[in-house]
Amino acid sequence: MTENTRRGARGLILPASTTLGNPGENTLLPGTVTELKRLGIQPQEVALDGGFQTELTNTALEDLAPKTVFIAGRQEPGSKRTQRRLRRYRTGPERRISHLKRRYGMDRSRLKGDEGQHIWTEWAILAYNTDTLAVRTR
């Protein structure tokens, strides 16, 4: 979450960092941190699922220096109320992924090969971000 995040806000999606195969969560995190720094986004809180390893995650996030890093089931700082709020916030991206699959065709690429999958994903994210910006201008 950033200082401008409000309840029910629909944000933009960063370009997807993809690699061949099925990489672990912590493999893609340094690329995401680099992208956040490039965009000048400084999150105050980071909420992640249990697939992230505590040591590697904290090391990757050092440059962003968030106040709170929440990893479900592994690192849950703060009061019970804060933990509950971050646990609920973490489930938001799961809903967004489901929405991208249903509404924007990310469930299955119609293009062949790894490059085709990457192109298909980027177009779906572009369509989502365009819709989000259109909603904001209303």
Are 69 and 56 in contact, with CB atoms under 8 Å apart?
no
The per-residue pLDDT for 1 is: 46
Tokens of 136: 């904001």
Q: What is the pTM of this model?
A: 0.72
SS3 11: coil
**Quick one: tokens of 77?**
């700082």
Dihedral sign of CA atoms 124, 129, 135, 138 in order: negative
Give the pLDDT score at 81. Answer: 92
Cα–Cα dist 81/79, whole Å: 5
pLDDT digits (tens, 9 = 90+) for 59-109: 999 989 899 899 888 888 888 998 888 888 888 778 888 888 889 888 888
**How far is residue 55 from each of residues 52, 61, 65, 69, 75, measured CA to CA in Å?**
9, 10, 14, 11, 10
Encode pLDDT of 25-43 as tens digits: 888 888 888 888 988 888 8
